[in-house]
């Protein structure tokens, strides 16, 4: 099963790669602006690392999508100055991919990583995610699948890891039930396992907002 990760070299993408490579059924391609780095190339030589600009129609990213079973979108600038920045950095490149899948890759399935909720500070981030949800459904119909994670944390990001760990405690759930429910904290490996479940068409708790 060929899986293409858009933004696979990032923090979340690395967790997904680590999970998928434990299963010999998966062939993994990562497409990003950087194309990864020497550390990632050495760690996972079996991954096809592609450097590409998704806003430009080029074979580097289009060719892997044509025969992919799944494309997973992990592109998502968390902090931007305004909605226009989100349009340029997130909506524009993902829209190019959706257009290509719609017309040039008729059997490829699309897994869009949206968000369960976001604080007011990230209103435009959530707005951009929902716009891309709408476009995904409109362009790809039944080929579009969605997950709605919250705060994804791992030791590689100490402050986020601490926040996520605290939010998972019984005390936090008792004192801040609404916040902990909306932020939906997940360890990175837990998120990666949920992604794998969707790819294998198994049940996942992330396919619905809570």
- pTM of the entire structure? 0.93
Q: What is the mean pLDDT of residues 181-200?
A: 96
Minimal CA–CA distance to 40: which of 18, 60, 73, 25?
Answer: 18
Minimal CA–CA distance to 108: which of 138, 141, 74?
Answer: 141
Domain, as residue range, for 50: 2-150+188-207
- The pLDDT tens digits for 176-185 are 898 899 889 9
Q: Is residue 45 part of a domain?
A: yes
- The pLDDT tens digits for 4-57 are 999 999 999 999 999 999 999 999 999 999 999 999 999 999 999 999 999 999
As a whole number of angstroms, the distance between CA 95 and CA 3 comes to: 19
- The pLDDT tens digits for 91-120 are 999 999 999 999 999 999 999 999 998 878
Q: What CATH number has the domain bearing residue 29?
A: 3.40.50.720
- The pLDDT tens digits for 120-151 are 878 888 899 999 999 999 999 999 999 999 99
Q: Is residue 47 part of a domain?
A: yes
As a whole number of angstroms, the distance between CA 111 and CA 145 comes to: 5
Number of Cβ within 10 Å of residue 171's Cβ equals 8
Identify the three-state secondary structure at position 56: coil
């Amino acid at each position: 099963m060929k899986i293409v990760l858009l933004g696979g070299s990032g923090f979340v993408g690395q967790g997904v790669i680590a999970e998928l490579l434990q299963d010999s059924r998966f062939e993994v391609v990562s497409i990003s602006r950087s194309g990864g780095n020497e550390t990632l190339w050495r760690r996972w030589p079996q991954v096809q690392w592609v450097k590409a600009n998704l806003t430009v129609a080029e074979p580097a990213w289009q060719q892997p999508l044509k025969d992919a079973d799944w494309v997973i979108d992990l592109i998502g600038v968390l902090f931007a100055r305004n909605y226009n920045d989100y349009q340029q950095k997130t909506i524009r490149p993902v829209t190019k991919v959706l257009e290509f899948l719609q017309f040039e890759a008729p059997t490829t399935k699309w897994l869009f990583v949206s968000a369960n909720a976001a604080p007011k500070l990230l209103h435009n981030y959530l707005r951009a995610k929902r716009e891309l949800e709408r476009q995904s459904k409109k362009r790809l119909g039944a080929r579009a699948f969605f997950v709605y994670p919250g705060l994804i944390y791992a030791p590689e990001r100490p402050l986020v890891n601490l926040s996520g760990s605290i939010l998972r405690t019984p005390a936090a759930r008792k004192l801040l039930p609404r916040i902990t429910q909306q932020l939906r904290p997940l360890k990175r490996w837990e998120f990666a396992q949920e992604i794998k479940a969707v790819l294998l068409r198994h049940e996942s708790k992330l396919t619905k907002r809570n």
